[in-house]
Chain A
Amino acid sequence: MSAVPLLEVQNVRRRFGHVQALDGVNFAVYPGEICALIGDNGAGKSTLIKILSGADRPDEGRILLEGREVSLDSPLSAQELGIATVYQDLALAPDLAASDNLFLGREITQSGVLGRLGFLNRREMRRRAAQQFARLGVNLRSPSVPVSALSGGQRQSVAIARAALWADKVIFMDEPTAALGVMQTGRVLDLIRHVRDQGIAVVLISHNMSQVIEIADRVEVLRLGRRVARIDRASATIEGLVAAMTSESALGESIK
């Protein structure tokens, strides 16, 4: 693990009315790791992810990407910096083909005059989509199948493949397996490992502790808007994670 975090959050505060959602939170992700972000409801996970994906802005604090301070004004500016988010509600267009979804907003056009008129190069889009799916081990019958005809796990895989196509630094995933069965969960977790192996950092929000221990290289624990623990995979146990999420007593022993 390199010394400089890929993405680092320093003393970020965010207040909604009289609720202090983030109370000086620190957080760091390193290149090529799967980092689980856990915490009880109201710990500030969603707010933190929103801020880091450009959907919300902090009241105070700094965000550093590869050691340089950045401002994430909009989801688009975050995407341009190589940060993408896979939302819980998927954000795919169900009537469009998987390949069209992969390239939505960044379509490949024909070369020359036709391209300037906006004519799509669907063959190239399908070819590159198939390539991307193959690279990540996503099994689809064909990239031109509409997303609505896919299973829940396949849809989630398309959403993750889309994020991995456009983000080369960090991908946030909010409960990516929440709605999936056992088999499909296995496939999606495998896909997340594939994404990490491409050198992209994955930040995973999950309430499923056994899953966190199974897949995460490192765990960061939030509680009441602050980071209360950073736990390596080697020393992580379900009891330890739960204790860190819920009790004050866990504070002293695991934070450095």
Chain B
Amino acid sequence: MNWIKSFTGRSHEELREALDSDHARTSQERFNRFIGGGWIFILLLALVAVFWVSRPEQFGSAYNLTMLAVNAAILLVLSVGQTFVIISAGIDLSLGAVLVFSSVVSAQTMLWLSGEPAGTFGTTAGGWGVVAAGLAAGLVSGAAWGMLNGLLIAVARIPALIVTLGSLGMALGMAQILTGGVDVRAVPDRLVTEVGTGTLFGMPILVVIAGSVAIIAAIVLHLTRFGLHVFAVGSNAEAARRSGIRLTLRVISIYALSGMLAGLAATMSIARFSTTTINGHAMDNLSTISAVVLGGTSLFGGVGSIVGTVIGVFIPIVLLNGFVILGIPPFWQTVAMGAVLILAVWVDQLKRRTRQGS
């Protein structure tokens, strides 16, 4: 078998072939990496630069930058959960509705524990214990919806799109049943003033919470076994199953994590608006999906990052803010966002095609 011997002996031809293909692949990979996550970061920097240069004293003011971060905080926490789900090749349409449900459960728990409204603005005098109980109630109810989603997807094998569309309706409906459709406005004063508008070393507490969630999520996703399994499930579920990964358990925990983060976002939302916002989260699912996809996470699963999602969350917020400051009718933000989203998915497709061609 002469021709095989020549491989083990590393013929001149083989070495040249290896070198050539190596060279081709690294330059292609560099290109992939650039269009993979780099371009959207450059887009964000460009937006900030344009708005900053044209209205430095308004856009660049400390107040405006802080408000940008506060506006991003709640959406970021939701989008982090969505990132895990989408990397695992799933989708969670129920996030906004689960947020609403959890905020109702959380607010009612706090109201029940602290009694009737006492403050001037209809707030209650509940202490940190009451706030902690409310947070716990929000987290548990959010995680419960997530587990239900995960069970139906992994065990009953109903497509994630349908399951979470169904639980969207159920969670929203249940929230309206619990409240009779009227927002719970009596929430602990402490939660609103110290968490909702409070700061830590000059940083709004809500931003600190969202930032911590993003950092911890990035560590879990990229450095732990759980994170690797999330990628594996999204990349090739059958391979993951044959490798001995307990697929059902993983899928359930991914959706439970996403639901629990919606529960955390629910409490943050109460703190910020000092009321539940039953009718205020209809667009959350689409906002999170577009943020995640803008950030370079593939809708086909297996590829993605939290850093990308952070950038993806900021793009629509910076766009809206900049348009308002520049006096462009804010409706244009919706148009621009739609175009950017389509562009992002197109780039994702291109990236896949160039890689498959290699």
Q: Which of B7, B232, B234, B356 lies in contact with A186, CB distance below 8 A?
A: B7
Are A104 and B18 interface neighbours, CB within 8 A?
Answer: no
Q: Which of A101, A119, A139 lies in contact with B224, CB distance below 8 A?
A: A119
Are B244 and A105 interface neighbours, CB within 8 A?
Answer: yes
Q: Mark B231-251, 1 if CB is under 8 A from A, else 0.
A: 110111011101111000000
A79 to B243, CA, bound (A): 10
The stretch that binds B, out of A15-23, A86-94, A223-231, is A86-94
A79 to B242, CA, bound (A): 10
Q: How far is the CB of A11 from chain B (nearest CB, A)?
A: 28
Are B244 and A214 interface neighbours, CB within 8 A?
Answer: no
Are B4 and A100 interface neighbours, CB within 8 A?
Answer: no
Q: How large is the interface on B (under 10, 10 to 19, 20 to 34, 35 or more residues)?
A: 20 to 34
Residues on B with C-beta less than 8 A from A100 are: 228, 232
Residues on A with C-beta less than 8 A from B7 are: 183, 186-187, 190
The tally of CB-CB contacts under 8 A between chains A and B is 84
Chain B CB within 8 A of A106 CB:
yes
Chain A CB within 8 A of B223 CB:
yes
A75 to B234, CA, bound (A): 21
Q: Mark A95-128, 1 if CB is under 8 A from B, else 0.
A: 1100011001111010000000111100000000
Q: Which of A75, A96, A106 lies in contact with B232, CB distance below 8 A?
A: A96
A95 to B1, CA, bound (A): 35
Chain A CB within 8 A of B25 CB:
yes
Are A117 and B224 interface neighbours, CB within 8 A?
Answer: yes
Chain A CB within 8 A of B355 CB:
yes
Chain A CB within 8 A of B225 CB:
yes
Are A95 and B223 interface neighbours, CB within 8 A?
Answer: no
Are A104 and B245 interface neighbours, CB within 8 A?
Answer: yes
Name the residue on A nearest B232 (C-beta): A93
Name the residue on B nearest A110 (C-beta): B223
Residues on B with C-beta less than 8 A from A190 are: 4, 7-8
Residues on A with C-beta less than 8 A from B303 are: 95
A110 to B200, CA, bound (A): 33
A91 to B226, CA, bound (A): 19
Q: Mark B300-333, 1 if CB is under 8 A from A, else 0.
A: 0111000000000000000000000000000000
Are B4 and A96 interface neighbours, CB within 8 A?
Answer: no
- Given A105-B245, A107-B228, are A93 and B3 neighbors across the interface (CB < 8 Å)? no
Are A120 and B236 interface neighbours, CB within 8 A?
Answer: no
Chain B CB within 8 A of A148 CB:
yes
A107 to B234, CA, bound (A): 17
Q: How far is the CB of B52 from chain A (nearest CB, A)?
A: 36
Are A120 and B231 interface neighbours, CB within 8 A?
Answer: no
The 8 tightest CB contacts between A and B, nearest first, are A105-B243, A95-B302, A93-B235, A105-B244, A95-B235, A118-B225, A118-B224, A104-B243
